[in-house]
Amino acid sequence: MNVSVFTDDGKIMRNKSQKMAAALVSMAVVAAGGSAQAFAADMDKARAVQNAPAAQGVSPEGAATQAAGTLGAINPDQLSQVLGSSGNPAFAGSTIMGSADALGFSPDLFAGNTPLPPAPDPSITETKVLRKTVDEGRYEQWEIAYAPMQRVITIEIYRAATDGPAPNLYLLDGVGSERPSGFMLWNAKEQFKNENVNLVIPTGGQASMWADWQQQDPKLGISKWESFITEALPKLTAESQIGLKHNGKNGIGGISMGAASAYSIAVRHPEQYQGVFGLSGCYTTDDFGQILTRYTVESRGANVQNMWGPPGSEEWQAHDAISQAEKLRGKALYLSSGTGAAKEGEFDAYNGDIGNFVAGAALEQASNVCTHRMDEKLNDLDIDHRFDQIPAGLHNWSLFAPQMPIAWNHIKGALGA
């Protein structure tokens, strides 16, 4: 198996090739069910592979080939299926993210190419809707000047199918938070075309955890997303001349980073939301959640300590949804996650990009661990909820999108839709 990563012009992306080779070695070690001592020894082997060009004079291509030899004749789909089908979510989740962190890999292992937000503009001193663009009748984009963040934020609105009052459903995207949002790119208009709900989707929150940050960050600027979502947006969307017809009930949900944020916001503002859903998220800021949060934030070059201070501090704990799960009692709750096992042919769907493929497996395995922990906590508290374990699929929209109607159907009754 060739684990080198090629660009469009056929050149090898040398650094990422070595990183992915080492990650795949770690995957194979855990898949083999080795002991802790054997795993530690093989971690050393993985480091040796990673450092082979410097330490042994081996080319990046040669390092990748050595890693491939360790794995044997097994294709990426099959390897991910071995890991994801173990039946033990803690086992599966330890394969890549934990190994990557232990090996000291940079979060750019999971980085994307999303543009960073604009620099703060001190001339923005008033919060208001600047303009509204209507496309296809019910779909709108609103440009909002938000003074606390000194920037213009675009939100997407998809109005309810009926003319009467409807609930508002706030949808939070993942780490890239592109415009149009992943929700719109993956068929939300069709999924909600007959639904009595107003979709409200902020964009541009790259790597922010949709949170209020303590400090301005050189990369992400000023982040006051929680305040924007919970305070500014409800007021702006209710303005009479442009406002949504609202029945007074709200839901919040998201995917990946947005799933974590949806549950965190819900426990911090329990009076505002009657329904909550999370697809492939992580709901703790402790232990494994710290690793995922750091990788999310630092994947775009930001400093995670600018967000909530040092990991483990009171502010981190205040955003931990699992430890505050009692505040979710009485709400309609939905969770889903995959195992990180690839569907047949999924590697081909990634165009043979081993880097993105490994990242997709790693992130979904990790999300699976976190989601099981939230499910267990809700069970321990005897809080009604639904959790769907998806048997195959990596951390991408082809896994998230089919769960959207299921999540909505589970919470819609609580919202009066």
Residue 180: cis peptide before it, omega within 30 degrees of 0: yes
Q: Identify the pLDDT of residue 396.
A: 93
CA atoms within 13 A on the CB side of 364: 31
- Shared domain for 23 and 60, answered yes or no, is yes
Q: Identify the pLDDT of residue 158.
A: 97
Q: Identify the pLDDT of residue 332.
A: 98
Q: Say if strands 151-158 and 139-146 run parallel, antiparallel, or are unpaired.
A: antiparallel
Compute the C-alpha angle 188/231/241, nearest 5°.
70
Burial 335-361 (b: 16+ CB within 10 A, else e): bbbbbbbbbeebbebbeebbbbbbbbb
Among 110, 141, 166, identify where a domain stops. 110
Q: Identify the pLDDT of residue 101.
A: 66
- Is residue 2 in a domain? no
Q: Identify the pLDDT of residue 95.
A: 53
Write out the residue range of the structural domain in which residue 37 sits: 14-110
- Per the structure, how many domains does the chain have? 2
Contact in structure between 45 and 57 (CB atoms under 8 Å): no
Q: Say if strands 151-158 and 198-202 run parallel, antiparallel, or are unpaired.
A: antiparallel
- Shared domain for 178 and 298, answered yes or no, is yes
C-alpha–C-alpha distance, residues 262 and 268, integer Å: 10
- Shared domain for 245 and 294, answered yes or no, is yes
Among 82, 110, 138, identify where a domain stops. 110
- Shared domain for 183 and 63, answered yes or no, is no
CATH code where residue 391 lies: 3.40.50.1820
- Shared domain for 84 and 183, answered yes or no, is no
Nearest partner of 220 among 112, 313, 106, 298, judged by Cα: 298
Contact in structure between 80 and 98 (CB atoms under 8 Å): no
Contact in structure between 176 and 80 (CB atoms under 8 Å): no
- Is residue 117 in a domain? no
Among 44, 79, 110, identify where a domain stops. 110
- Is residue 3 in a domain? no
- Shared domain for 317 and 393, answered yes or no, is yes
- Is residue 382 in a domain? yes
- Shared domain for 102 and 210, answered yes or no, is no
- Shared domain for 213 and 253, answered yes or no, is yes
- Shared domain for 329 and 207, answered yes or no, is yes
From first to last of the 417 residues of the chain, give the pLDDT tens digit.
222 222 233 233 334 444 444 454 444 444 334 333 443 444 444 445 444 444 445 443 344 344 334 433 445 545 554 444 443 444 444 456 666 666 666 566 555 666 789 999 999 999 999 999 988 789 999 999 999 999 999 999 999 999 899 999 999 999 988 889 999 999 999 999 999 999 999 999 999 999 999 999 999 999 999 999 999 999 999 986 778 999 999 999 999 999 999 999 999 999 999 999 999 999 999 888 998 999 899 989 999 999 999 999 999 999 999 999 999 999 999 999 998 888 888 888 888 777 788 888 888 988 998 999 999 999 999 999 999 999 998 999 999 999 999 999 999 999 999
- Is residue 5 in a domain? no
- Shared domain for 368 and 286, answered yes or no, is yes
- Is residue 123 in a domain? no
Q: Identify the pLDDT of residue 32.
A: 37
Nearest partner of 400 among 305, 336, 341, 329, judged by Cα: 336
- Shared domain for 106 and 139, answered yes or no, is no
Structure tokens belonging to residue 43? 């971690």
- Shared domain for 92 and 173, answered yes or no, is no
- Is residue 288 in a domain? yes
- Is residue 379 in a domain? yes
Q: Identify the pLDDT of residue 209.
A: 98
